[in-house]
Amino acid sequence: KKIKEDFKNFLKEQLQLELSEEKTLITNAQKSAKFLSYEIRVRHSNLTKRDKTGKLVRNYTGRIVLEVSSDTIRKHLIDTGAMKLIYHNGKEIWKPKAIYRLKNCDDLEILDYYNSMIRGFYNYYCIANNSSIINSYKYIMEYSMYKTYGTKYRTSISKVIGKFRAGKDFAVKFRNSKGVEKMRVFYNEGFKRQKKAFQSNADLVPNTIKYFSSTKLIDRIKARECELCGKTNTPIEIHHVHRLKDLQGKTFWEALMIARNRKTIALCRECHKKLHCGQLN
């Protein structure tokens, strides 16, 4: 309590800031505390290493450690829709799953989506002392991607890997605006710890909307899939707006239409009804 009170007085007297009683918790330094999705703790270790004089010293103890927890990775994968949890003999198992809303996108859009999610996650947690744990995040995302392609082409994971294999990499070939054949590779740059973040806006959520397709209206109707909730094999209704500039982009469906530069969006009846009732967000 005294530490908290001293800190409160310092903020008020020196910085003219007010301490939030509800959000401030004094924690034992050897226990982890959450801050900006990081786990922060003071390391306690008996490991030794030699200093410049060759003397063995214990200089790991007392150092501040930033870590990304498995719970953070777990939550992000579930929220993304790339993973589901199954339980066997009381043990939790992480199982990759296809992101069904991507199956009607073209091959390059699907790859770009997964690459952007992996890079965005790494950019944010690259300064974590245990940044190598992000390999587990990449593994789930990688097999989710295989399953998404498998859903699109109605084939197995092994055939998907064979179809897109380029040496040791998984890649999608495409032609640019000049007709030159290019190749986009699935993320393979590792997760080495960085002392500084890659970019000043690394904490921003990746803008994955731009990777969604702008397919033709007839193709979207034939797909029989809602472009918002992902419901499949359902009657589709087309919502139309007169002018894109009238949209403010405050809701996901508005942002989606703006990003695709499209005045129409294919919705199931339930989503279309919610939209007109102002209940769709």
**Sign of the CA dihedral with 126 first, then 85, 267, and 110 last:** positive
pLDDT exceeds cutoff 60 at 40: yes
60 domain-assigned:
yes
- Boundary of a domain, candidates 162, 189, 208: 208
281 domain-assigned:
no
Q: Answer yes or no: are the C-beta atoms of 149 and 186 closer than 8 Å.
A: no
Q: Are residues 203 and 88 in the same domain?
A: yes
- Boundary of a domain, candidates 12, 37, 68: 68
Q: Are residues 189 and 110 in the same domain?
A: yes
Please write the tens of the pLDDT for every residue from 121-134: 998 999 999 999 99
pLDDT at 149: 96
pLDDT at 257: 75
Q: Which residue has the higher pLDDT, 60 or 269?
A: 269
Give the contacts of 134 (CB within 8 A, at least 6 positions apart).
68, 73, 121, 122, 125, 191
Q: Are residues 93 and 55 in the same domain?
A: no
Strands 91-96, 83-88: pairing kind: antiparallel
Q: What is the DSSP letter of 60?
A: S
Q: Are residues 133 and 240 in the same domain?
A: no
Number of domains in the chain: 3
Q: Are residues 111 and 185 in the same domain?
A: yes
Residue 199 one-letter amino acid: Q
Q: What is the mean pLDDT of residues 273-277?
A: 80
Please write the tens of the pLDDT for every residue from 217-244: 556 666 678 888 878 888 887 787 767 7
Q: Are residues 151 and 253 in the same domain?
A: no
d(CA 231, CA 101): 9
Per the confidence metrics, is the pTM higher than 0.75? no
Name the least confident of 54-63, 99-108, 131-140, 242-251.
54-63
pLDDT at 202: 46
- Boundary of a domain, candidates 68, 84, 117: 68
pLDDT at 98: 96
Residue 263 one-letter amino acid: K
Please write the tens of the pLDDT for every residue from 64-73: 889 999 999 9
Q: Are residues 61 and 13 in the same domain?
A: yes
Residue 255 one-letter amino acid: A
Query: What range does the domain containing 104 cover?
Result: 72-208
